[in-house]
Structure 1
Amino acid sequence: MAWLSDVIKACYFLAALLFILGLKRMSSPRSARGGIVWAGVGMLVAVLATFALPDMHNRGLILAAVLIGVSAAWWSGRRVAMTAMPQMVALYNGMGGGAAAAIGAAELFSYAGKSVTLLDGGQFTANGATPGAAQLALAVLGALIGSVSFSGSLIAFAKLQGWLDKRFVFPGQRVVNLLVLAGAVVLGAMIASGQLTMPLIVAFFVLALLFGLMMTLPIGGADMPVVISLYNAFTGLAVAFEGFVLQNEAMIIAGTVVGAAGTLLTQLMAKAMNRSIGNVLFGSFGASGAEAQAIAGAQKPIEASDAAVMMAYAERVVIVPGYGMAVAQAQHKVWEFAKLLIERGVKVKFAIHPVAGRMPGHMNVLLAEAGVPYDLIADMDDINPEFPQTDVALVIGANDVVNPLAKTDPASPIYGMPILDVANAKQVIVVKRGKGTGFAGIENALFYADNARMLYGDGQAAASQLVAELKSLDS
């Protein structure tokens, strides 16, 4: 059956190629949809090839699990709202980490209670079975990382879903977290050295899962984009390590690609917030000990009719979308309003902050869904120099990413985070449901600025009003 082994390896190579090409296509909004399809086809090829492995057992149970998982994913994927996409990504990512941890658990539990000794060549022997020393070490490492990703992603999901408060902190939390992690590492090292007892393995997984929970609970909502991408990297690494354990080329390549992409994305997200990854995970976001600056002035409301006239006769308008636009599902109406402005000769652009929304690329996905051309979408570094020449900046549901306190108040928890310089525009109109703070719980000085006006209301309703008022000008 040597030919079958060659065919399976060829299929794995094809799957890996499709994974890499698919990921490359995902780097551009124009080809991202095709990239997802390519990667999906690669996964299908890898799964079918795996079923053909000669030593595969329990094919019926595996097929049943695959059918259940595919059905659940199809159903949830079709029903989930765009506003809930971040928590779905967190949940699915956690499932990947949990699957990797389960592979490591199955491998470790298969040797639990057996007589395991280290041979001279560095190999372990367990009642006739001979796992490699590297195999045990990678199984432990993959199980540790996968467990942390699984439990941490579940907490991230619960936070994004609104089931948990934004942050849970207590005195000495960092020390406790460090002790839990140290305990998991010590137990993992003991297991990797050949001490494969059931109590030791169970305690190892308990501490690993506990660390994922405790590491994520104190992290504030504004850091969720970084956390999601970090756990994505963790899941990829865990899958790659368990791929070495199973000697499965497809898992190794897919996990490595996902881990590398997640790591780079995490670094980019942290850079966009001007914070280190360590500060995100172990810092005290939202808990500055200094006294914050007092914000003078009052929020000044504006009617939709006046706002529409202001933008209709402007030369340049920059629209800044945020999570509030996603909640209201207002992206289509916003783009309709933008098209009406463009027809009147107004130069319109959309400004996207790297961490706007609840996950990386959240706003880009929403605007692409509405049909906004890619050349009208500008990132933070490109658009910031244009704000002084912008007649009107229309902020729809964005809060923390346009807060000037990030540049002016050293006591602010977001101090140092790069922001969209909306305050530099000649006039600012902010669409907001009320006078509350953003997801990070920080008051926004922009809303009290002399050049800012507040258009209160739901994003969908406000955008519809602006469209109606703009159309009435031409009637």
Structure 2
Amino acid sequence: METIIQASYLIAAALFILGLKQMSSPVTARRGILWAGAGMVLATLVTFMSPEILDSDQVGTNILLIVVAIVIGGGYAWYSGKKVAMTDMPQMIAMYNGMGGGAAAAIAAVELMKASTEASHDVTGATTVAGILGTDIAILGILGAIIGTISFSGSIIAWAKLDGRLSRSKLLPKQHIVNALLAIVTVGFAVAIYFTADINTIIIFFVLALILGVFITVPVGGADMPVIISLFNALTGLAVGFEGYVLGNAAMIVAGIVVGSAGSLLTQLMAKAMNRSVANVFFAGVGTNVAATGSDDSLGVMKEIQAQDAGILMSFASQVVIIPGYGMAVAQAQHKIWELTQILTEKGVTVKFAIHPVAGRMPGHMNVLLAEAGVPYDMIYDMEDINADFKNTTVALIIGANDVVNPSAKNDSSSPLYGMPILDAMNAENVIVIKRGRGAGFSGVENPLFFADNTKMLFGDGQKAASQLIQAVKEL
């Protein structure tokens, strides 16, 4: 039986890796999800064959609890996955990261509580967690506990900020010093758990780790959310891998390593796209102290354009580059933008989509939206591939993007965005910006591009503005 279980876990692990490989391309991503899902189903089914389940005196209760958990978790995941709007996808990803970290932390809590109970009843004669669980299991279990707990509470805060339930202006006095002291104390309790088996120490440790996750996430600015989400994804993977070792579950170990390594790489890529380190993302607090108010008079006046005039400009353009941002997601305007693209293409206009790595509120957010609308992959360009082409662009159409096209990131060393690579939309002959109002972006930093001589503002809801552009172009 054990051979069958381990072989099944090996197959599940291979399916995880194959699925991840398939997800590296938009063309095969759907197939990759199916492969990874098949691996997860196999790993779950094999759990019922585990000796800890079948050889227990309470085998019926164990199986019932597992089935109930699968029905509740799977049912809710299916329902929420079917019902969630594309605009809420970042919140869902953050929540799923949190649930994964929370599950790993729960496993660690159970194992540590069991060790504490054994020590208090003198079951084995050992009086410490290390003595009861073994050095390697104790260390990895505690590491998984702290990482998983931080990922859980931090992801909940990220979800609350993305969902608008928590203000982004939450930088406390001496925040970073408080965070450092809290981290030191939390690690101190983790060490204490290793050398003891005191139940109160374990409880305080988890409470501190929960608070630490909250405190390190609250100051993070909105522009950094894609980095934070990918980082918590990596932390969740590590926590799952560590707890897989604690349970002796090969599938959990491999899945955790795969998710952890992929998440770590993605985090580095996201941070690199902003020309910042991961530590700087946590400690700089971009956008937390900047008031996102109206226009800055020193920059000049925004110049408006009507949809009819914008339609004329785009219809007779040689090339139009569309730059989508989170505002497009909020307005759910991706389908209208694709319709506009098709009409312009029929008129002989070359249309391209420029995607910034951290546009939106999660990695690949804009790619997901455009894929949903049916935009071909060969029309979508990364920042590095499109920036040099802006000087050959007649019209750069910005819809819902702000910080990722802000020239202050290049020209103003006093700006919180300084050093962040941007899409060079300002180099286009004409810039048209679809925007709901005159306020700053999510980071709270004003954008000089919107006041530039070659920029015109088309104010209004993204979907409505796109519809007006479609009508204007059709009439020509």
Report TM bin, short chain: over 0.9
Structure 1 position 190, deviation (Å)? 1.5
Structure 1 position 114, deviation (Å)? 4.1
Q: Secondary structure at the match of 1:394?
A: strand
Q: Secondary structure at the match of 2:475?
A: helix
Return closer, same or farther for 1:90/1:172 CA change in 2, 3 Å cut-off: same
1:71 aligns with 2:79: no
- Per-residue CA deviation, residues 173-206 of structure 1 (Å, 9 max, x unaligned), is 111111111111111111112x011110001101
CA distance in 2, matches of 1:407, 1:52: 59
Counterpart position of 1:35: 32
- 404, 423, 426: which one aligns with 2:426: 423
Query: In 1, are the aligned partners of 2:234 and 2:263 still within 8 Å (CA)?
Result: yes
- 180, 183, 187: which one aligns with 2:182: 180
> After superposition, where does 1:87-126 map in structure 2 within 5 Å?
87-115=91-119
TM-score (norm 1): 0.94
1:60 aligns with 2:61: no
Structure 1 position 314, deviation (Å)? 0.6
CA distance in 2, matches of 1:168, 1:411: 21
Aligned AA for 1:203?
I
- 84, 87, 107: which one aligns with 1:83: 87
Structure 1 position 296, deviation (Å)? 2.5
Counterpart position of 1:24: 21
Structure 1 position 470, deviation (Å)? 1.1
Report the number of matched residues: 462
Counterpart position of 2:205: 204
Counterpart position of 2:56: none
Structure 1 position 170, deviation (Å)? 2.0
> After superposition, where does 1:257-336 map in structure 2 within 5 Å?
257-286=258-287, 295-336=298-339
Structure 1 position 167, deviation (Å)? 3.1
In structure 2, runs of 5+ residues without a counterpart are 54-58, 291-295
Counterpart position of 1:370: 373
Q: Secondary structure at the match of 1:355?
A: coil
Aligned AA for 2:112?
L
Query: In 2, are the aligned partners of 1:392 and 1:427 still within 8 Å (CA)?
Result: yes
CA distance in 1, matches of 2:464, 2:133: 63
Structure 1 position 137, deviation (Å)? 1.2
TM-score (norm 2): 0.94
Q: Percent identity?
A: 59
Counterpart position of 2:455: 452
Structure 1 position 287, deviation (Å)? 6.1
Counterpart position of 1:44: 41
* Greater Cα shift, 365-374 or 107-116: 107-116
Q: Secondary structure at the match of 2:51?
A: coil
Structure 1 position 116, deviation (Å)? 7.7
> After superposition, where does 1:315-394 map in structure 2 within 5 Å?
315-394=318-397
1:251 aligns with 2:252: yes
Query: In 1, are the aligned partners of 2:222 and 2:287 still within 8 Å (CA)?
Result: no
- Per-residue CA deviation, residues 150-180 of structure 1 (Å, 9 max, x unaligned), is 0000000000000000131122111111111
Q: Secondary structure at the match of 2:320?
A: strand
Return closer, same or farther for 1:16/1:295 CA change in 2, 3 Å cut-off: farther
Structure 1 position 284, deviation (Å)? 3.2
Query: In 2, are the aligned partners of 1:124 and 1:132 still within 8 Å (CA)?
Result: no
CA distance in 2, matches of 1:420, 1:130: 56
Q: Secondary structure at the match of 1:429?
A: strand
* Greater Cα shift, 293-302 or 274-283: 293-302
CA distance in 2, matches of 1:126, 1:165: 43
> After superposition, where does 1:92-241 map in structure 2 within 5 Å?
92-115=96-119, 130-193=132-195, 195-241=196-242
* Greater Cα shift, 224-233 or 173-182: 173-182
Query: In 2, are the aligned partners of 1:93 and 1:153 still within 8 Å (CA)?
Result: yes
Structure 1 position 20, deviation (Å)? 0.3
Query: In 2, are the aligned partners of 1:288 and 1:413 still within 8 Å (CA)?
Result: no
Query: In 1, are the aligned partners of 2:119 and 2:126 still within 8 Å (CA)?
Result: no
Aligned AA for 1:39?
A
Aligned AA for 1:175?
I
Aligned AA for 1:315?
S
Aligned AA for 2:10?
F
Aligned AA for 1:80?
V
CA distance in 1, matches of 2:73, 2:288: 41
Q: Secondary structure at the match of 1:406?
A: helix
> After superposition, where does 1:426-441 map in structure 2 within 5 Å?
426-441=429-444
CA distance in 2, matches of 1:366, 1:114: 52
Query: In 1, are the aligned partners of 2:127 and 2:197 still within 8 Å (CA)?
Result: no
Query: In 2, are the aligned partners of 1:117 and 1:124 still within 8 Å (CA)?
Result: no
CA distance in 2, matches of 1:404, 1:398: 13
Aligned AA for 2:107?
I
Q: Secondary structure at the match of 1:320?
A: strand
Query: In 2, are the aligned partners of 1:116 and 1:124 still within 8 Å (CA)?
Result: no
CA distance in 2, matches of 1:262, 1:116: 39
CA distance in 2, matches of 1:177, 1:126: 29
Query: In 1, are the aligned partners of 2:320 and 2:397 still within 8 Å (CA)?
Result: yes
Query: In 1, are the aligned partners of 2:168 and 2:288 still within 8 Å (CA)?
Result: no
CA distance in 1, matches of 2:441, 2:423: 15
Counterpart position of 1:242: 243
Consecutive aligned runs of 4 or more in structure 1 exceeding 6 Å deviation: none
1:467 aligns with 2:470: yes
RMSD: 1.9
CA distance in 2, matches of 1:92, 1:309: 45
Return closer, same or farther for 1:380/1:251 CA change in 2, 3 Å cut-off: same
Query: In 1, are the aligned partners of 2:115 and 2:133 still within 8 Å (CA)?
Result: no
CA distance in 1, matches of 2:285, 2:361: 19
